[in-house]
Structure 1
Amino acid sequence: MTKTETLTRGARATADRYENKLLAILFLAFGFVFFDRQALAFLAPYMDDDFGLSNSQLGILSGVLALTWALSGMFAGSLSDRLGRRKPILIGAVLLFSLFSSASGLMTGFIGLLGARALMGTAEGAVLPMSQSLMVEASRESRRGLNMGLLQGSSAGLLGGIVAPVLVVWLADTFGWRTAFFVTIVPGLVVAALIAKYVLERPPVERAETAPAGAAVRGAPVKAAKVPVREVLRLRNVVICMLIAPCYLTWFVTLITFTPKYLTDEKDWGSGTMSAVMTCLGVAWVLWGFATPGISDRIGRRPALIGFTALAVCCPIAVVYVQSPVLLGTLMILTYTGLGCFTLFMATIPAETVPRAALATALGVIMGVGELAGGFLGPLVAGWASDTWGLQSAMFIAAGGAALVVALSFGLRETAPAVLRRRGVAA
């Protein structure tokens, strides 16, 4: 009889309640990370009078955040696995990224803004691997993909993709762009308090089914079993996810950084129209953020990643060629499917592949490689290309990144428990 089968009904109810509570808190935490990260893209048109940002400078600002995010994520993941602690690192990261985001509103030159964004990325990089590790450990097998999708995809979509363009643009129009940066400190303080009060270092009831094959015994402390990084990097799925990450980060960061400016500069749309179209990206972000990983729980991680990424290739192409705001917004909702895929290669597939004792390390490495190569270099190249050949170049670079992901995904080994069980029965 498995450990799961011996759980009492009361213990299962306690575990389920905590799972839902944890999901809600981490949903807010990572959502506000992306609210802060996205704010610069929406405020860039307002900052031109003070900074006169070129496309290359906008790419540098986006890239330096990705660079420090990557280094921080890799360091925090490794540190967390060594210490066996997630919660203190997460609280510190939430407090610091809120402070540094607000500091952007105090800057009077490009160098100062660059420094504030670098510090912001340093703090934000730790949030995702800590949140993912805590969520995996508290999740039921049947909800693992869905939970990770809501945490990483839908949260960022709701707060970074829907709330941010509306609220940030309104604040900039009403009070100025600096005020829009200042208000970002408030939600961070609230979320940090919620984490401190309600989040446990370990779930109240250990779920045996959340451990991947070959993982350490879940009753033992996290730091009891150590797995060398080199062993993690020998796993085929981890290597492929590391290759996928920079390609998908190129798609995402390039698209989200340059689309607002493309709509206002190239299509000559007003800030209200731009904000409405960008909100459609947020709607798609929320929808596919949970739908894609939820579907993958049933059809498999590999086919879901291939199919939904093929749709994502079309999104930046639509930005270039579709002239109607209504039609473009509709197509964005239908094709902005990539953020749901992020959950698969950046969290769910690695979590179902590596031993639990190396979980935060693996998640940090995959995220770090993606942010370094795709989040940092991607917008730099796209910004240079846009200044040289026009902003449409950035959109084609984004589409190319997603196309590479489709090809790489064919090399993944399936990890979805339900699909593997069906194959076992068939065999």
Structure 2
Amino acid sequence: MKINTYENRLLLVMFICFGFVFFDRLALSFLFPFISEELNLNNSHLGMLSSTLALMWAISGATLGHYADRKESKKLILIISVIAFTLFSALSGMVTSFITLLIFRAFMGVAEGPVLPISQSLLASASTPKRRGLNMGLVNASAPGLIGAVIAPPVLIWIATEYGWRSAFYATIIPGLVIALLIALFVRNKHAHEDMPQAPEGTPRPSYMSLLKNRNIVLCVLISCFYISWFITLISFTPTFLMQVKGFSPETMGGIMGSLGVAWMVWGFVISALSDRFGRKPMLILFSLLATACPMVLLYVDSAATMLPLVFLTYTGLGCFTLFMATIPAETVSPTQVATALGLIMGVGELFGGFVTPTIAGFAADSYGLGIVMWIAAAGSLMATLLAFFLTETAPAKRREDSEASLALMS
């Protein structure tokens, strides 16, 4: 079988898989205005629900990602994870209190944690150099954008409006089981491309301490902390902000969230593709700076018709996620360390940006109004922009150009 055939097949399966992770994860944000009325929940509860899922995602991603690098069958871990998070997502529809909802979302976070590091480590190894950034961007950003933020809002809001919010959770179980079957049938455990950095014979198993000696990995961890703060704060509170502060209807809110999803999907592959040609670092800096404007658009633009195109143009951050969370670390360390590195970056980022920040934002919103969360989000992406200046470039094409330019100057 030709490598491109398997590369494309793996890309499609991982695209569907990680996209559905975010369909389940973001479901709570879109359904919260419906859930809060029945269970009598407030912004603090929403922040704690988001934070708890992120905390468990962080711990699970870091530990199970590291565990997967030590095992032959990453594929089996991935299948178990997909079945488990699908089950706990469906069980969220059975809750009768905040505590039971919190417990089910926590278990869902445990199951979802290893999906990104495992799927991206498999994809990075199987991708040809000229397509690695694009492939990883399609899975890391475009897939959750399309499935989790374009398809999910209208589908979930329609089900919740017509049949109740509980039915929206129940509906997730069938696609989840189908995805697990696709992974079982079409994904291999190993398929490394020859250009990937290889660990010398006798190299010790990957460890967190060895990874933290690498400047790029440390910077990616820090960028992850601030960028996930930007993302989780926006995605958790924007639906409620649009309905309670802006006074938009559920349908209008769904349309704007859908616009965010389209932007997520489009910028996800555009930024990654541009980084294959022009470098990871300059694209990360440019589009992170643009992402800082998105929460300001939500805060200060009152017309839904004006807000729609502006949020599309400025919601570029999710396209940047692929660069610091997957592509740069995958091109920095050996294949035997990729899942560990990605799990570390995602785990620490989720711990700070996904667990700590939303809880603070929720209490701040109850004390000072929902507008404060937009300032918190903007601060996160701005800090990520500043940190990106210190990264070392990893794009193969850009490094080759720089090397050729250096040789030309020397001659």
* Residue 227 of structure 2: aligned partner: 248
* Residue 43 of structure 1: aligned partner: 31
Inter-partner Cα distance in structure 1 for 2:220 and 2:73: 25
The equivalences for 1:274-289 within 5 A come to 274-289=253-268
* Residue 126 of structure 2: aligned partner: 138
- What's the offset of the Cα at 1:79? 0.5
Confirm or deny: 8 A CA contact 2:206 2:340 kept in the other structure: no
Amino acid paired to 2:180? A
1:207 counterpart = 2:193 = yes
Out of 60, 63, 73, the residue aligned to residue 61 of structure 2 is 73
1:348 counterpart = 2:331 = no
- What's the offset of the Cα at 1:327? 1.1
* Residue 216 of structure 1: aligned partner: 199
* Residue 174 of structure 2: aligned partner: 186
- What's the offset of the Cα at 1:49? 2.3
* Residue 100 of structure 1: aligned partner: 88
Out of 96, 107, 117, the residue aligned to residue 105 of structure 2 is 117
Amino acid paired to 1:407? L
Q: State the TM-score, normalizing by the size of structure 1.
A: 0.94
For residues 279-331 of structure 1, the C-alpha deviation after alignment (integer angstroms, 9 at most, x for no partner) is 00000000001111110111111100000000100001100100111111101
For residues 357-403 of structure 1, the C-alpha deviation after alignment (integer angstroms, 9 at most, x for no partner) is 11111110000000000011111011011001000000110000000
Amino acid paired to 1:360? A
* Residue 226 of structure 1: aligned partner: 205
Amino acid paired to 1:368? G
- What's the offset of the Cα at 1:231? 1.3
The equivalences for 1:265-304 within 5 A come to 265-304=244-283
Amino acid paired to 2:38? D
Confirm or deny: 8 A CA contact 2:208 2:344 kept in the other structure: no
- What's the offset of the Cα at 1:216? 2.1
Alignment gaps of 5+ in structure 1: 1-10
* Residue 306 of structure 1: aligned partner: 285
Inter-partner Cα distance in structure 2 for 1:294 and 1:385: 38
Inter-partner Cα distance in structure 2 for 1:295 and 1:381: 35
Q: Find the residue that maps to 1:208 and give its secondary structure.
A: coil
* Residue 361 of structure 1: aligned partner: 340
Amino acid paired to 2:82? V
- What's the offset of the Cα at 1:228? 3.0
Inter-partner Cα distance in structure 2 for 1:110 and 1:360: 34
Confirm or deny: 8 A CA contact 1:30 1:127 kept in the other structure: yes
1:321 counterpart = 2:300 = yes
Out of 8, 15, 21, the residue aligned to residue 9 of structure 2 is 21
Amino acid paired to 2:193? R
Amino acid paired to 1:130? I
Confirm or deny: 8 A CA contact 2:143 2:265 kept in the other structure: yes
Amino acid paired to 1:85? S
* Residue 217 of structure 2: aligned partner: 238
Inter-partner Cα distance in structure 1 for 2:393 and 2:114: 28
- What's the offset of the Cα at 1:350? 0.3
Out of 181, 184, 194, the residue aligned to residue 196 of structure 1 is 184
Runs of 4+ in 1 over 4 A off after TM superposition: none
For residues 36-79 of structure 1, the C-alpha deviation after alignment (integer angstroms, 9 at most, x for no partner) is 01110111111122112110110000000000000000111111
1:59 counterpart = 2:59 = no
Q: State the TM-score, normalizing by the size of structure 2.
A: 0.97
Inter-partner Cα distance in structure 2 for 1:422 and 1:241: 24
* Residue 7 of structure 1: aligned partner: none
For residues 245-265 of structure 1, the C-alpha deviation after alignment (integer angstroms, 9 at most, x for no partner) is 010000000000100001000
Confirm or deny: 8 A CA contact 1:216 1:225 kept in the other structure: no
Confirm or deny: 8 A CA contact 2:23 2:144 kept in the other structure: yes
Inter-partner Cα distance in structure 1 for 2:36 and 2:346: 31
For residues 173-205 of structure 1, the C-alpha deviation after alignment (integer angstroms, 9 at most, x for no partner) is 0100000000011111000000001111112xx
Q: Find the residue that maps to 2:394 and give its secondary structure.
A: coil
Amino acid paired to 2:251? G
Inter-partner Cα distance in structure 1 for 2:383 and 2:371: 19
Amino acid paired to 1:132? Q
Inter-partner Cα distance in structure 2 for 1:246 and 1:51: 31
Inter-partner Cα distance in structure 1 for 2:206 and 2:233: 35
Amino acid paired to 1:153? A
Confirm or deny: 8 A CA contact 1:225 1:357 kept in the other structure: no
Amino acid paired to 2:340? T
Inter-partner Cα distance in structure 2 for 1:228 and 1:109: 40
What is the root-mean-square deviation in Å for CA atoms of aligned residues?
1.2
Confirm or deny: 8 A CA contact 1:31 1:160 kept in the other structure: yes
1:387 counterpart = 2:366 = yes
Confirm or deny: 8 A CA contact 1:77 1:126 kept in the other structure: yes
- What's the offset of the Cα at 1:224? 7.8
Out of 217, 242, 245, the residue aligned to residue 263 of structure 1 is 242
- What's the offset of the Cα at 1:225? 5.4
Aligned residues: 406
Confirm or deny: 8 A CA contact 1:31 1:158 kept in the other structure: yes
Inter-partner Cα distance in structure 2 for 1:346 and 1:367: 7
Inter-partner Cα distance in structure 2 for 1:284 and 1:104: 28
Confirm or deny: 8 A CA contact 2:234 2:295 kept in the other structure: yes
Inter-partner Cα distance in structure 2 for 1:227 and 1:198: 27
